[in-house]
Amino acid sequence: MRRLLPRLALLTLASALAACTSSEAPRPATVIEAAPSYSDLGALRVHYNVLPTLAMNRAMAASYGVPQAADQALLVVALRHRVDGDELPADGTVRASAVDLSGRRQQIALRPVRTGEYTDHVGLVTVSRHDTLRFELQVQSAHGGGMARFQRSY
């Protein structure tokens, strides 16, 4: 009887696994296009990204002057003037906010950070696991302006 029990358990497991895979043929993977990380507002291109601060290496976090924390992400907004296919530095103002799935709105205080001849606008936003944030950027520049919207999930 002792020898029969392990064999019975193995037979039951094998038939359960066979039932899971026998009805559906393997499917090829489908590639999902990444959402664009920029918006064009006239001749102004607005690049944006949100990085969890823990995903940044220490040198990068230090260069932006941000602490690394599990509940913090860094919003980076870059303004570029599009001329004949090139992107040149553009000055302007950016106001940002984020809304989570429960409807809670965060105003994001942005500050300029110079990198060579370019200026990025950066600010911290509070994030939580398994949440989606919808971002709104109000942008104004001599080269264009308007609202840019995007979302990110964590």
CATH of residue 90's domain is 2.60.40.3340
Instruction: Write out the two tokens for 47.
Output: 């690049």
Query: Is 17 a domain residue?
Result: no
Query: Is 147 a domain residue?
Result: yes
Tally of domains within the chain: 1
Q: What is the DSSP letter of 55?
A: G
Asked if residue 3 has pLDDT above 70, the reply is no
Query: Is 67 a domain residue?
Result: yes
Report the first-to-last Cα separation within the chain, whole angstroms. Answer: 52
Query: Is 84 a domain residue?
Result: yes
- Taking the C-alpha atoms of residue 100 and residue 106, their distance in angstroms, rounded to an integer, is 9
114-151 pLDDT, tens digit per residue, is 888 899 999 999 999 888 999 999 999 999 999 999 99
Query: Is 23 a domain residue?
Result: no
- Taking the C-alpha atoms of residue 47 and residue 35, their distance in angstroms, rounded to an integer, is 12
Give the rounded percent of residues in the chain with a pLDDT score beyond 90.
65
Write the single-letter amino acid at 104: R
| pTM assigned to the model | 0.76
Please report which confidence band the pLDDT of residue 31 belongs to, taking 50, 70 and 90 as the band edges: low
**pLDDT value of residue 26:** 72
C-alpha to C-alpha distances, 89 to 133, 135, 145, 151, nearest whole angstrom: 28, 23, 15, 25
Query: Is 62 a domain residue?
Result: yes
Query: Is 69 a domain residue?
Result: yes
Domain, as residue range, for 44: 38-153
Query: Is 32 a domain residue?
Result: no
Residue 113, judged by CB atoms within 10 A of its CB (0-12, 13-18, 19+), counts as middle
- Taking the C-alpha atoms of residue 124 and residue 136, their distance in angstroms, rounded to an integer, is 14
